[in-house]
Structure 1
Amino acid sequence: MKTKIKFLLLILSFTVLIGCGTNEVKHSANPEIGTYKVAILYPNGENKTFDMNYYEKKHMPMMAGLLGDNLKFYEIDKGIAGRTDSDKVSFVAMGYFYINDVDEYNRVIAQNIDTVRNDIPKYTNIQPIIQISEIKQWKSNHIK
């Protein structure tokens, strides 16, 4: 009887652990070749301000909603150091959208440009630099 109870407790524990997942959007560890990456860079400088909490919790989710199914996933980087300990960070933050279609991205941004522009002052006084790139190659250092 004790063995049955231990076995049931083990099964129950395993089931609870499996059920403790998250509802966050998952993406593959590697972007697909031919996917496009929109990089939004926020250069550091004197008197520059950036509210990372707002960017993470409000701005980027809003943008993801606007981009819809064209968006594969997005990333946010927070600058923490320059090349050496004495160097300031070049960029206080960087955001990346991984998208399927550049024309669709441009259409959505054009349609919502006022919404996007009006939200930027809520988290920064920095004029972002934007670059769109095509992912040509992605390699992992972890070869199996």
Structure 2
Amino acid sequence: MIKVSVFYPNEEGKRFDMDYYVNKHMPMIRQMLGTACKCVDAEQGLGGLSPGTPATYIAICHLYFESIESFQTAFGLHGQAIMADMPNYTNIQPTIQISEVKI
């Protein structure tokens, strides 16, 4: 199983519209990626380890695929449209990591 993680850093002066992200962007991704995407989850950062510290990431998204090839095929077809929607919910440059799920 492959996990594609998208991390949106919690940066001062940046914006992130969680309502748009959850109710518009994520359903669009699910529709575009179709059955290649096995599962999606989106998280909103609440805080750091110590009480009162800010979250490192304002939002994190995980998308799961059977293989790197299935991700590359699905994202290759729709990646530009997915990325073009980003200004509708954020001005943050995300960090993306592709991982192999071990457990």
Q: Which residue of 2 aligns with 1:44?
A: 10
Alpha-carbon distance, 1:67 to partner: 1.3
1:33-112 correspondence runs (5 A): 35-112=1-78
Contact 1:79 1:92 survives alignment (8 Å): yes
Distance 1:74 1:58 in 2: 14
Letter in 2 for 1:36: I
Partner of 1:132: 98
Q: Write the distance in 1 (CA, Å) between the matches of 2:64 and 2:78.
A: 19
Q: Which runs of 5+ in 2 are unaligned?
A: none
- The answer on whether the counterparts of 1:70 and 1:101 sit within 8 Å (CA) in structure 2 is no
Q: Tell whether the 8 Å contact from 1:42 to 1:127 is kept in structure 2 after alignment.
A: yes
Counterparts of 2:102 and 2:92 in 1: how far apart (Å)?
30
Q: State the Cα distance separating 1:77 from its structure 2 match.
A: 0.6
Identity of aligned residues (%): 37
Task: Work out whether 1:121 is the aligned partner of 2:72.
Answer: no
State the Cα distance separating 1:52 from its structure 2 match: 0.5
User: Deviation of residue 42 (structure 1)?
Assistant: 0.3
RMSD between aligned residues: 1.2
| Larger radius of gyration between Structure 1 and Structure 2 | 1
Q: Larger % of strand: which?
A: 2
> Normalising by structure 1, what TM-score?
0.67
Distance 1:57 1:125 in 2: 18
Where does the alignment leave 5 or more consecutive residues of structure 1 unmatched?
1-34, 138-144
Q: Distance in 2 between matches of 1:98 and 1:111?
A: 17
- Write out aligned runs for 1:10-25 (5 A): none
* RCO higher in structure (CA 8 A, sep ≥6): 2
